[in-house]
Structure 1
Amino acid sequence: MLTHPTHDRLVALGLTGMAKALDEQQRQPDIAALAFEERLALLVDREATERENKRLVARLRFASLRQNAVVEDIDMKAPRGLDKPLFQKLVAGEWIDRHQNLLIIDPTGVGKSWIACALGHKACRDNRSVLYQRLPRLFEALTLARGDGRHARLLRTLARVELLVLDDWGLAPMTAEQQRDLLEMMEDRHGRGSTLVTSQLPVEHWHELIGNPTIADAILDRLVHNAHRLNLKGESLRKAAAKRQTLDDEPAN
């Protein structure tokens, strides 16, 4: 007779995981064989799982990852020169704890954004805060924020996350305003968070891309010198997939 009142009280207290588990227990004919402590432990475990799942959903929503990628689905056999031992260390995430950076360099279509998002997803699963940004769009957002008074607040948000993913670095030369914004980001995050950068442009050309030699030195000193590097190569995976699709669609002779 106490089942419904107890269920309702659990829901009212925000213990929805325990409420669901209690309903499930009541439908199990052999549940009485378990001791009270065992049944209670099952309720508590379910509540803990429900809460962690909700936190993960919130972290992923905030991260706004471009690709729905997970590290378990990455094709380790694809011919793109992926350093497998290094990648496994990156998946473990200790580099984020140490506030180190990661640079993923490859020609277009080899999978740098997918790998970056997969590592971001894994960091979310490991209870770390993550934020994904395409660098061109981020520069646009910072310009707009400067105009409406949100600039400092946006920089604080970028500084606080444990892993900041900057995708598509180096698509165009940087303006003086963009150089200053990037320096502020790197200065705020240096020694406090990890930054993951993807780019088609080799690192040795980044100094020229940034433009101002003094600012370029300051940015790259904070970003590159403590960074792991994944240098990928090979044919575009998108082109290879398109070729396979074309062959599959051709009529048999």
Structure 2
Amino acid sequence: MMLQARLEEAISHMGWVRIPEIIHHHAEEAAAQNISYLEFLDKLLQEEIKAKRDRFIRMKTRLAHLPYHKTLEQFDFSFQPSIDERRIRDLATLRFVQQQENLILLGPPGVGKTHLSVALALEAIKQGFTVYFTTAHDLVQTLQIAHQNNSIKQKMRVFIKPNVLIIDEIGYRKMDETAAHFFFQIISERYESGSIILTSNKSYGSWGEIFGDAVLATAILDRLLHHSHTINIKGESYRIKEKKKAGFFRTESIDDKTE
């Protein structure tokens, strides 16, 4: 009992949480299979390290505010032949994050832009990078409220500090002058110091309309595109595909067309 108490005290002192759950099982296994002391200790420590890493990933994933959990393995590349799978797999190595480069995913709604950005975010978290996800609409709202509350400097840090900032759905709503100015500040502060993954349903030529100022849009694009990768996705919406499968869309027959 004295040894048990000393072990529990030592485990508690070290802050271990997985070892207390497995130590007796591994001790019995070691005795039954004549496992060496070093192998027994190695098994315990490896389990503790894995548990610590899993907790870290869960915490970082929660702090990233991802809209859902979707991986590259869940992405249907066969449905979007315009996407070069090898290029996406190469991006998943996260070299572009290590080099503070940006990734812009362009295409119509529903083609998988957000799915890809979330999948890359999960890979980044696994590799120890910090990530923050926001939609363009939420980003603008957050900054406008912070501006009114005189807390804009603190709030800007939320978007400037992470290794990877994901801004989803640029182009669905036009920004006013103040919002466009803050957006430019974020892009400028992150220039060559952090990566941005950005999704948009608008081509670069239409960004002057988004920001209400062609000169400002050019300045934003100049910084975004200097060190960047652009993926143009062309194809049908996944959501429409699923609706078709469920029978919500009826294909016109020849008779329908001639009536």
Whether TM-score is above 0.5 comes out as yes
**In the TM superposition, what is the alpha-carbon distance from 1:231 to its structure 2 partner?**
0.7
Q: What whole-Å deviation, never above 9, does each CA across 1:58-86 have from its counterpart, x for those lacking one?
A: 11001111121111221121134112221
Q: Which amino acid aligns with 1:109?
A: G
Question: 2:82–2:233: 8 Å Cα contact kept in structure 1?
Answer: yes
Residues 60-209 of structure 1: matches in 2 within 5 Å? 60-209=61-210
Q: Distance in 2 between matches of 1:234 and 1:11?
A: 55
Q: Distance in 2 between matches of 1:146 and 1:24?
A: 57
CA separation of 1:225 and 1:208: change in aligned 2, threshold 3 A: farther
Q: Distance in 2 between matches of 1:238 and 1:125?
A: 29
Q: Are residue 246 (structure 1) and residue 247 (structure 2) matched?
A: yes
Question: 1:105–1:199: 8 Å Cα contact kept in structure 2?
Answer: yes
Question: 2:129–2:163: 8 Å Cα contact kept in structure 1?
Answer: yes
Q: Distance in 1 between matches of 2:83 and 2:5?
A: 56
- Residue range with higher mean Cα deviation, 28-37 or 128-137: 28-37
* DSSP-derived class of the 1:229 partner: strand
* DSSP-derived class of the 2:79 partner: coil
Number of aligned residue pairs: give it.
247
- Structure-2-length-normalised TM-score: 0.89
Q: Which amino acid aligns with 2:24?
A: D
Q: What whole-Å deviation, never above 9, does each CA across 1:19-40 have from its counterpart, x for those lacking one?
A: 2231321343645611111111
Question: 1:71–1:122: 8 Å Cα contact kept in structure 2?
Answer: no
What residue in structure 1 maps to residue 255 of structure 2? none
* DSSP-derived class of the 2:29 partner: coil
What residue in structure 1 maps to residue 215 of structure 2? 214
**In the TM superposition, what is the alpha-carbon distance from 1:4 to its structure 2 partner?**
5.3
* DSSP-derived class of the 1:246 partner: coil
Q: What whole-Å deviation, never above 9, does each CA across 1:159-200 have from its counterpart, x for those lacking one?
A: 110110000001122211011111110111001100011111
Q: Which amino acid aligns with 1:204?
A: G
What residue in structure 1 maps to residue 257 of structure 2? none
What residue in structure 2 maps to residue 250 of structure 1? none
Q: Are residue 34 (structure 1) and residue 53 (structure 2) matched?
A: no
CA separation of 1:28 and 1:145: change in aligned 2, threshold 3 A: same
Q: What whole-Å deviation, never above 9, does each CA across 1:212-253 have from its counterpart, x for those lacking one?
A: 233222211111232211111111111111111228xxxxxx
Q: Distance in 2 between matches of 1:92 and 1:204?
A: 30
Unaligned segments of structure 1, at least 5 residues = 248-253
* DSSP-derived class of the 1:41 partner: helix
Q: Distance in 2 between matches of 1:27 and 1:177?
A: 66
Unaligned segments of structure 2, at least 5 residues = 249-259
CA separation of 1:23 and 1:147: change in aligned 2, threshold 3 A: farther
- Structure-1-length-normalised TM-score: 0.91
